[in-house]
Amino acid sequence: MEYKLFAIPIIVMLLNQVIKVAVEAMRGNWTWMSVFSYGGMPSSHSAIVVSLATVMWHYQGIESPAFAITVILALLTMRDATGIRWHLGNQGKAINRLIKELPDQKEYSFPVLGERFGHKTIEVIVGLFVGLILTGIIIQAWG
């Protein structure tokens, strides 16, 4: 049983990435980088930490220290995804726009910053539900 504690969340994260790539493809934004990129719908970070908390609840019990720790980890991770990581992406966009306004000889001396690090609230919420649902399905299938 112990391997299920980490195997299920990893499987959920991988399945969530497949869903994310499919969503990107439907939106016409798919690239190979979509497979490994931050941000997007649904949040893989949310899915994996919610899956981990759900697995701990199911196998260790709601009163276990492991469940308490994973719930706190999940809350921190989801808050971070919509907080500082989202703002970091917005700063990258703003800085890239400012660099584009520079004369060409100066513009090319600056690196292009990443612009997609965080999530919109809806992406985190959908990731939460994907994590719960997929974890429930996998737990039921594994018995």
CA 104 from centroid of its chain's CA atoms: 36
Tell me the pLDDT tens digit for each residue of 27-58.
777 676 666 666 677 888 899 999 999 999 99
Kindly state the tokens that stand for 44.
Answer: 């893989």
Torsion of CA 67, 70, 75, 76, to 10 degrees: 150
**Higher confidence at residue 94 or residue 137?**
137
Which pLDDT belongs to residue 8? 95
Inform me whether the pLDDT recorded for 24 exceeds 90. Answer: no
All residues at 6 or more sequence positions from 107 whose CB lies less than 8 Å from its CB, including other chains: 99, 100
Q: How many CA atoms lie within 13 A of 22 on its CB side?
A: 7
Residue 104: how many other CB atoms lie within 10 Å: 7
Q: CA 90, CA 98: separation in Å to the nearest integer? A: 13
What is the pLDDT at residue 26? 84
pLDDT 10s digits, 97-131:
877 877 877 767 777 766 666 678 888 899 999 99
| pLDDT, position 86 | 65
Domain segments of the chain as ranges: 4-82+122-142, 84-117
